[in-house]
Amino acid sequence: MSEHSAVSDPKTAHIQHHFVDSDQQFDSAKLGMWIFLVTEILFFGGLFAAYIVYRAWYPDLYLQASAELDTFWGAVNTAVLIGSSLTVAMAIRSAQLNQIKGLIYNLYITIGLAFVFMVIKFFEYTHKFDKGIFPGEYYTYEGIAHEKANIFFSIYYMMTGVHGLHVTIGIGLMIWLVYKAKKGVYHSGYYTPVEITGLYWHLVDIIWIFLFPLLYLID
Amino acid sequence: MSGHHISSAKFLWTIGAALFVLTVITVAVTWIHIPGPWNVVVAILVALVKATIVALFFMNLYWDDKFNLMLLFLSIAFFILMIGITLLDTLYRDDPIPSF
């Protein structure tokens, strides 16, 4: 009964019956993740479209309103996310080399960096709320001499808010990965959830790479 | 194709350092005040370089099945299509500014 011995072997226990082998299952999972990332790119694409249309209509508004955003903290957050992408890549490398402790440590650092990102974002948001910079009709700030100033911040809150939601989901996913890794689920022959969560995390990083210059660096 | 490419730690740190340097560059170019619209063009170009580096070497598309790279290109193509068709409308309206 070779089939039964294959199922009980911890190195192959992850293989679902409808896949030929571990590699086919791994590549299928990755293909599925890439198709999801395509929908994510087009989902954020709608927000970028709104950004581009309004920037074409009100170039002066973007110039003035962007001055309210703190370039320093935007740059710090960019560095934080790049660092977290590096630690996710290191986590995947650890899993590939069967270094489960390294995998868990790198996931911890990534989770920590993601929290740093969200804490900085929290202080950026509350700083604006204190001034009355709210999205849409709730906007009460009078420091920007442009009648459509609320539009820039509606776009700002939507883009960074949806991005922040993705970071928060990423934190949840990585806590789940740590939990599974501690139970000994992952090894060099099976680390698919680490790999595809990594792909997700890198996409969240890429989106911030575009958001940072487009929102903060308009001079 | 190899879905299991293992990068060396040194290589990953080099990629991370390159991304960090490019972040410094994208901030630094705003200090020299390139006249518009070239400031936007430079900012987008640097962001595109950074995104390409992440996609190729962190997301492993460089070593991966080329089908996944094609999916990424398709999403970019459809994104450009969406922007293009939207701008064909919004840039050429008789009354370009809506009331909201």
A85/B16 CB distance under 8 A: yes
Residues 33-62 of B with CB under 8 A from A: 33, 36, 39-40, 43-44, 46-47, 50-51, 54-55, 58-59
Q: Which residue has the higher pLDDT, A6 or A214?
A: A214
pTM beyond 0.90:
yes
Q: Which long-range contacts (CB under 8 A, 24 or more apart) does B26-33 make?
A: B26/A212, B26/A213, B26/A217, B26/B50, B27/A71, B27/A75, B27/A217, B30/A71, B30/A217, B30/A219, B33/A219
Tens digits of residue pLDDT in A156-194: 999 999 999 999 999 999 999 999 999 999 999 999 999
Confidence of residue A2 (pLDDT cuts 50, 70, 90): very low
Domain ranges in chain A are 37-217
A:B CB pairs within 8 Å: 134
Topology (CATH level 3) of domain A37-217? Four Helix Bundle (Hemerythrin (Met), subunit A) (1.20.120)
- For residue A132, what are its two tokens? 């009355």
Residues 70-89 of B with CB under 8 A from A: 71-72, 74-76, 78-79, 82-83, 86-87
Measured between CB atoms, which of A42, A56, A199 is closest to B79? A42
Which is nearest to A9 in space by CA: A195, A190, A196? A190
Residue B1: per-residue pLDDT: 45
Tens digits of residue pLDDT in A118-145: 999 999 999 999 999 999 888 999 888 8
Residue B4: per-residue pLDDT: 85
Q: Compute the residue count for chain B.
A: 100
Confidence of residue A148 (pLDDT cuts 50, 70, 90): confident
Token match 């991966």: residue?
A: B64
User: From residue A58, how far is each of A150, A181, A212, B30 by CA, in Å?
Assistant: 12, 50, 19, 20
Q: Which residue intervals of B32-65 are DSSP H helices?
A: 38-53
B6/A97 CB distance under 8 A: yes
Q: Which long-range contacts (CB under 8 A, 24 or more apart) does B91-95 make?
A: B91/A56
B54/A209 CB distance under 8 A: yes
Between A114-118, B14-18, B44-48, B89-93, the lowest mean confidence (pLDDT) is in B89-93
Mean pLDDT of B87-96: 84
Confidence of residue B98 (pLDDT cuts 50, 70, 90): low
pLDDT > 90? residue A55: yes
Residue B72: per-residue pLDDT: 97
Q: Provide the terminal-to-terminal Cα distance of chain A, rounded to the nearest Å.
A: 70
Q: Work out the minimum CA distance from B6 to partner chain A, whole angstroms.
A: 6
CB atoms within 10 A of CB B84: 9
